Amino acid sequence: MPLLIAAVVYWVQVMRQPIDPRLKRRHVGGFLIMAIGVVLVGLWVRQRPEPSNGWFWGEVLGVLAVYVLCWSLVLATRVRVLEPWFGGLDRMYLWHRRTAVVGFLLLVPHVFLVRTAAGQSVSQIGNGLGVLALFGLAALVIVSLSRVAHLIRLAYEPWLLIHRTTGLFVAAAVVHGALVDPLLRASAPLQVTYLIIGGIGLLAYVYQELVARLIARPGAYVVRQVERLAGETLDVTLDAVTAPIAVRPGQFLFVSFGGADAWQRHPFSVAGVAADGSLRLSIRALGDYTRALYARLEAGAAARISGPYGLFDYTLGGARQVWIAAGSGVAPFLSWLRQPAGLAGRSIDFYYSVRTQADALYLDEIQAVAAREPGLRVHLIVTTTQGRLTVEQIQRDTIGRLIDTHVFLCGPLAMTESFTRGLHAVGVPRDQIHSEHFAFR
């Protein structure tokens, strides 16, 4: 009952917010994960044996762990139909990480509680699979912590390869539960529920690892033009070979170029979408792959593009907006400014933060749009001479109207997180803070 009341209060709060209904919809995914979890616990409690001891609660935690781990596999599939319910692929990945970590953490008390109840387990194979799942998932969670990955210098590609084994350990956990849990063997409703959960999770894994790759039909593009800009940035224009992909400004794509480092898929935001379907990308040389692109990419190279993904879209925000771009995070804002129809009637403070004046790429173009659009004010922040942009400065510029403002942030994770915290602390509701950060791990 208290949970039901909390859920109703939560929904009333979400529905009463004066925001675009599409922004309300992104609460549904997370809510559903929790609501189904609560129903599962209720279902298991109804079937509990008398007396129900610590062992029973250990089993419940084990089932919940399997449940959230299966969600983690579903959320890794990049199925576009799920995007609106979570708020874009980046937020799906956030929930993917959350559910994986919670699933692993639930396994710890599960192991402790069921181990202390001797004589319940009947299957050696089942026990072995449980141990395999526990240690495998522990290792995967640990190498996914950004500090650990940094410490052991684990690059993205090998990390991704290791990470893709997650489904095998979740499969071990699912089979372990089916073999060793006496509650499941004694109750048909629990068996069916457990099989549906495990089945959906494992199907999602098989789909992502085998089927999705086979049925993927990336759009064929060719590089029309490559410009090498300051700060090791490439400005790339691509033409569709066949039908162009329908991309909204602000979205991102998975792009692979043919050539020496052939067909590695990397995500890039569109920096421009032209009426003829051609796309502009602004790619900063950051690591091995992007440096190789900067050195070698030329006009005429073939490209494959899949997507689009993401719901980073200023037209979802209200009349007052603040945009904050850091470095190469300017790309989605450029795509918005290159289709300026939605700017009319809006009051926008656009902060473009760069390290040095020479890093302020596209500044002339941005200022030319601002000269035509009376509601757009551009603030260039050169951090080496002016210091970092602060929430206080934004508050001063927006003259106390920040609470009614929608804020759009794009750049490194540390920047988007710090502004999200800072803006929320001065009263900007979370649903009015929209961010895209340029990393998935």
Ligand X SMILES: Cc1cc2nc3c(=O)[nH]c(=O)nc-3n(C[C@H](O)[C@H](O)[C@H](O)COP(=O)(O)OP(=O)(O)OC[C@H]3O[C@@H](n4cnc5c(N)ncnc54)[C@H](O)[C@@H]3O)c2cc1C
Chain residues in the site for ligand X (CB under 6 A)? 90, 155-156, 252, 265-269, 282-284, 286-290, 328, 331, 436, 438-441
Nearer to ligand X, 129 or 283 (CB): 283
Q: What is d(CA 347, CA 224) in angstroms, rounded to the nearest whole number?
A: 35
Q: What is d(CA 247, CA 274) in angstroms, rounded to the nearest whole number?
A: 10
Give the nearest distance from C-beta 251 to ligand X in angstroms: 9
Nearer to ligand X, 256 or 398 (CB): 256
Give the nearest distance from C-beta 246 to ligand X in angstroms: 18
Give the nearest distance from C-beta 271 to ligand X in angstroms: 6
Nearer to ligand X, 177 or 332 (CB): 332
Give the nearest distance from C-beta 347 to ligand X in angstroms: 26
Rounded to 5 degrees, φ, ψ at 91 are: -75, -30
3-state SS assignment for residue 145: coil
Nearer to ligand X, 283 or 415 (CB): 283
The one-letter amino acid code at 287 reads G
The CA-CA-CA angle for residues 199, 203, 205, to 5°, reads 120
Give the nearest distance from C-beta 256 to ligand X in angstroms: 9
Nearer to ligand X, 55 or 289 (CB): 289
Nearest CA-CA partner of 348 in 368, 372, 364, 370:
370
Q: Around 73, how many Cα atoms within 13 Å sit in the side-chain half-sphere? A: 29
Give the nearest distance from C-beta 289 to ligand X in angstroms: 3
Spatial strand order of the sheet with 347-354 comes to 376-382, 347-354, 320-326, 406-411, 433-437
Nearest CA-CA partner of 73 in 146, 169, 3, 158:
169
Q: What is d(CA 134, CA 169) in angstroms, rounded to the nearest whole number?
A: 8
Rg, Å, the chain Cα set = 24
Give the nearest distance from C-beta 335 to ligand X in angstroms: 9
3-state SS assignment for residue 287: coil
What contacts 306, CB < 8 A, 6 or more positions away?
Answer: 216, 218, 219, 253, 254, 265
Nearer to ligand X, 31 or 156 (CB): 156
Rounded to 5 degrees, φ, ψ at 60 are: -60, -45
Q: Tell me how long the chain is.
A: 441
Give the nearest distance from C-beta 302 to ligand X in angstroms: 18
Nearer to ligand X, 98 or 346 (CB): 98
Nearer to ligand X, 176 or 284 (CB): 284
